[in-house]
Amino acid sequence: MTVKGATVRRIIRTAGAGGHVTYVVDIHTPAGAARKCTFSGNLFGGPVLLSSECADGHTRVAEIEQPHDFGEFATEHWVHGFFRNWQLAAVRHPILVDDGDAREGTG
């Protein structure tokens, strides 16, 4: 699925105890770089943590304080909603654009 700013290649959903859910997402950035993002949160509310390895090799972590802005965290549709709303996501979560490779084509 191609979305603003990134192409989602694969989503792996893992359910844990007490409503904890993790999505491991393989994407390609607008510049063509492969990237893995991990979203971890709880179905019952609270923030979602986003971690991503950037082009410089460092892993960066951001807290998504309003995950409902991108839909219900219960299904993979949330991941697509996050990337579909790329501009909002990039403004709130600059780790997606820190290394410059995601800035291209984010209109």
39 phi and psi angles, rounded to 5 deg: -110, 125
pLDDT score recorded for residue 107: 32
What are the start-end ranges of the E strands in the chain?
2-3, 6-15, 20-28, 34-42, 48-53, 59-64
Length of the chain: 107
Q: State how far the Cα of 100 lies from the Cα of 72, in Å rounded to an integer.
A: 29
pLDDT in tens, 24-52: 999 887 777 788 899 999 999 999 999 98
pLDDT in tens, 58-107: 888 888 888 988 889 999 999 988 887 765 666 565 555 554 443 333 33
Long-range contact pairs involving 65-74 (C-beta distance under 8 Å, separation at least 24): 67/41, 73/21, 73/41, 73/42, 73/43, 73/48, 74/21, 74/43
Residue type, position 53, single letter? E
Residue with tokens 């984010």: 106
Specify whether the CB–CB gap between 84 and 41 falls below 8 A. Answer: no
